[in-house]
A and B are shown apart, each in its own frame.
Chain A
Amino acid sequence: MSELTDELRRGFWEVMTLSRAFDDAMIALYWEGKLPIFQFGAGPLPGELHCSNGAEPVGAGVCAALSPDDMITADHRPHHVAVARGVDLNRMAAELLGKKPGLSQGKGGHMHIYDPAVNFASSGIIAEGLGPAAGMALARRLQKRPGVAVAFIGEGAANQGAFHEVCNMVGLWKLPVIVVVQDNEWGVSTAKSESTAVERNADRASAYAMAGEWVGTNDPDDIYLAAVRAVARARAGEGGTILELKTARLTGHFMGDQQAYIPEQMKQVDPLPLYRAKLIRDGVMTAEEADAIEARAKERMARAMQFAKDAPYPDPREAFDHVFAGEAA
């Protein structure tokens, strides 16, 4: 499990290209109806859209270290984690378009992705996935069932009170929780150095009797190996880990973010071409194989997008359904 096999690494490339294909397709659709006058609510893909371009190695590397029993909460930027976890791609695409066959029948949208079949949930409120993730781990302990919970947050979320409260309880109760801090350097327009007293959030782990690890490469190989170590500690009853992963945010906080606040020396690097070159260099795959995998990902995404576009909208009366469980829907 902890060996970096060729098969595993090709899998990372598959997952990352599929995630990128998902976001690129959504970005293209997002601008339909929003030009020349930009308005969040216009077009076939309305609302805010926070894309994961640049963060694909995080989803690919961490999710490969997990088993189906494990549980995930993601945040307002959930696509790369959801794709890597195997969330139903057709239904996720349909959800982004607000369609009836969407994961939430059009009630969630892109920040609220739930797929219980793969133990995946997300929340649009910063740091709000931390408590639920720790609670899922607690539930498994009470149920005497295996399961590690992973909360994916951004580096900005590490400054929320919930981070302190939950990490303290994870350490106190030695809960099998991994807090993945995705450091993409920016909380909207606020740089990490402008918001965070310490350079690395992983260093905060010592305050909570958790393990802390930092990976600075945005490379799925390194991320995977660190995640495997964190999962092993959690499964062995050694408690939680704050796993901070330096990553990238190539398409801004959300679509429409011009990112004029990013200085030239902080321009970020796309991890996908780097990883592609690395795998070719290491003899894991040829350039042709890499391209073929990428092409298959785009085709897969095209089918998902077609499914979403062809799907019907929910009936307006359905707005009143699902406020409560156990009521006629």
Chain B
Amino acid sequence: MSDRILTMSRAGREALDWEMERRPEIFCMGEDVFKFGGIFGTMDGFGAKYGPERVISTPISETGFIGMAVGAAMAGMHPVVDLAYIDFIGVCYNVLLNTASKTHYMSGGAVKVPMTLLIGTGGGYNNAAQHSQCLHATVAHIPGAKVVYPSNAYDAKGMLHTALRDENFVIFLTHKGTAGVGWMGTPIRTTLSEVPIEPYTVPFGKVRICRAGTDVTITGLGMSVHEALKAADALEKDGISAEVVDLRSLSPLDRDGILESVAKTGRLVVTDEDYLSFGVSGEVIATVVERDLSALRKPPIRVTTPDIPIPFSRPLEQAILPLAGRIAEAARRLMA
């Protein structure tokens, strides 16, 4: 073990660099990746190191270049594509929905599409309704796409190694506020981890218990994990022991892991920065209710972004985000 503390950005970069050094089939593409190194610096310096053939800056043509990535994957490459913000999936959703995710199935397993799509999610920094969405449920709803969502540096590196070795289309989400990039201020402490120098994998489809507790389970993903951890600190002062569960992976989803925690605590707060309805928060509750209704001592509570576009003005946005105060208040209600 090393004692290196890294941001998610630097940790993810290590994984991609290690794999690219050894595997000529991996190449990067996306807008501005050659000069800027990707939205999270995952490809920082790769332009100089690997050259323009393997680090391809594209025109602003997401349908075109993500479609190209699918074709390259079908022809034996493993593209790593940077889509910057998930708000932009509107201009290339067909490629995700109908091609990248369905080719393996529609070919009866004859054609594989090994590719990794890096996407940033989330708000909280006043970027308004078209640059602040999470939309992870919108991609997790697609059969045939794996969707993962690390929230700390250790998982970012291990899950990116896993994604790059997967034979499938993997959507690799990172909340912008968690990545530890320069334009988002001081990194959140709980996103930083001790990261081994050597490569390692973190399997998809396993929750991570970030903090053990006995009274109430709080599930989160991406940024909401860190708000949940803040809430757990506050709750501890009130004598409430909260268990914080990082879902980490939406497809596959670790339904057993969710139920295991709820069976222990009997109370459930589901946090999610995505919109309230038809999303991950409902899926988590449905999982528990379908499998063991008796595990719940109280009806669960959802703390999410409501079904409204993300407002720009700071007091408006802060009022609607699922922040630690709202999460703690929900937990207290369950304990009352």
Listed by A's residue number, 19 A-B pairs whose Cβ atoms lie within 8 Å are: A73-B71, A116-B111, A128-B94, A128-B99, A130-B67, A131-B65, A131-B66, A131-B68, A132-B74, A132-B99, A133-B71, A138-B68, A141-B53, A143-B76, A169-B59, A169-B64, A324-B104, A324-B167, A329-B109
Cβ contacts under 8 Å, B73 to chain A: 135
Contact with A along B55-88 (1 / 0, CB 8 A): 0001101011111111111111101000000000
Cβ contacts under 8 Å, B79 to chain A: 135
Contact between chains at A169 and B107 (CB < 8 Å): no
Given known contacts A169-B61, A325-B168, A135 and B106 CB-to-CB distance under 8 angstroms: no
Q: For the complex, is A250 an interface residue (Cβ under 8 Å from B)?
A: no
Contact between chains at A134 and B107 (CB < 8 Å): no
Contact between chains at B64 and A131 (CB < 8 Å): yes
Contact between chains at A165 and B76 (CB < 8 Å): no
Cβ contacts under 8 Å, A141 to chain B: 53
Closest to A329 in B: B109
Q: For the complex, is B130 an interface residue (Cβ under 8 Å from A)?
A: no
Q: For the complex, is B144 an interface residue (Cβ under 8 Å from A)?
A: yes
Q: For the complex, is B54 an interface residue (Cβ under 8 Å from A)?
A: yes
| Most interface-central of A104, A128, A323 (chain B CB within 10 A) | A323
- The smallest C-beta distance from A309 to any residue of chain B, in angstroms, reads 19
Closest 5 CB pairs of A and B: A131-B67, A135-B71, A165-B64, A132-B71, A135-B68
Contact with B along A135-179 (1 / 0, CB 8 A): 111111111000001000000000001100110110010000000
Of the candidates A106, A137, A162, A326, the one whose C-beta lies within 8 Å of that of B166 is A326
Cβ contacts under 8 Å, A138 to chain B: 68, 71-72
Cβ contacts under 8 Å, A115 to chain B: 110
Cβ contacts under 8 Å, B98 to chain A: 123, 125, 128
Cβ contacts under 8 Å, B95 to chain A: 128, 131
Q: For the complex, is B154 an interface residue (Cβ under 8 Å from A)?
A: no
Given known contacts A323-B144, A326-B166, A112 and B106 CB-to-CB distance under 8 angstroms: yes
Contact between chains at B71 and A104 (CB < 8 Å): no
Q: For the complex, is B131 an interface residue (Cβ under 8 Å from A)?
A: no
Cβ contacts under 8 Å, A321 to chain B: 109
Contact with B along A93-114 (1 / 0, CB 8 A): 0000000001111111000101
Contact between chains at B74 and A121 (CB < 8 Å): yes
Cβ contacts under 8 Å, B103 to chain A: 114, 121
CA distance A128 to B100 in the complex (A): 11
Contact between chains at B68 and A123 (CB < 8 Å): no
Contact between chains at A165 and B61 (CB < 8 Å): yes
Chain A stretch 35-93: residues in CB contact (< 8 A) with chain B: 71, 73
Cβ contacts under 8 Å, A108 to chain B: 106-108
Contact between chains at B75 and A168 (CB < 8 Å): no
**Size of the chain B interface, CB-CB below 8 angstroms:** 44
CA distance A102 to B99 in the complex (A): 20
Q: For the complex, is B18 an interface residue (Cβ under 8 Å from A)?
A: no
Q: For the complex, is B278 an interface residue (Cβ under 8 Å from A)?
A: no
Cβ contacts under 8 Å, B34 to chain A: none
Cβ contacts under 8 Å, A162 to chain B: 63-64, 67
- What 11 new A-B contacts, CB under 8 Å, besides A114-B103, A114-B106? A103-B108, A104-B110, A121-B111, A123-B98, A125-B99, A134-B64, A139-B76, A141-B53, A143-B76, A166-B67, A324-B144
Q: For the complex, is A322 an interface residue (Cβ under 8 Å from B)?
A: yes
Cβ contacts under 8 Å, A112 to chain B: 106-107
| Most interface-central of B66, B69, B70, B106 (chain A CB within 10 A) | B106
Q: For the complex, is B136 an interface residue (Cβ under 8 Å from A)?
A: no
Cβ contacts under 8 Å, A73 to chain B: 71
Cβ contacts under 8 Å, A326 to chain B: 166-168
Contact between chains at A104 and B107 (CB < 8 Å): yes
- The smallest C-beta distance from B135 to any residue of chain A, in angstroms, reads 20
Q: For the complex, is B143 an interface residue (Cβ under 8 Å from A)?
A: yes
CA distance A162 to B70 in the complex (A): 14
Cβ contacts under 8 Å, A325 to chain B: 104, 109, 112, 114, 167-168
Contact between chains at A136 and B75 (CB < 8 Å): yes
Given known contacts A168-B59, A324-B146, A132 and B67 CB-to-CB distance under 8 angstroms: yes
Contact between chains at A172 and B104 (CB < 8 Å): no
Contact between chains at A169 and B68 (CB < 8 Å): yes
Closest to A123 in B: B99
CA distance A102 to B146 in the complex (A): 27
CA distance A133 to B58 in the complex (A): 16
Contact between chains at A322 and B75 (CB < 8 Å): no
Closest to A104 in B: B108
Cβ contacts under 8 Å, A134 to chain B: 64, 67-68, 71
Contact between chains at B146 and A169 (CB < 8 Å): no
Cβ contacts under 8 Å, A121 to chain B: 74, 103, 107, 111
- The smallest C-beta distance from A105 to any residue of chain B, in angstroms, reads 4
Closest to A135 in B: B71
| Most interface-central of A114, A141, A329 (chain B CB within 10 A) | A114
CA distance A92 to B168 in the complex (A): 25
- The smallest C-beta distance from B65 to any residue of chain A, in angstroms, reads 7
Cβ contacts under 8 Å, B75 to chain A: 71, 135-136, 139-140, 143
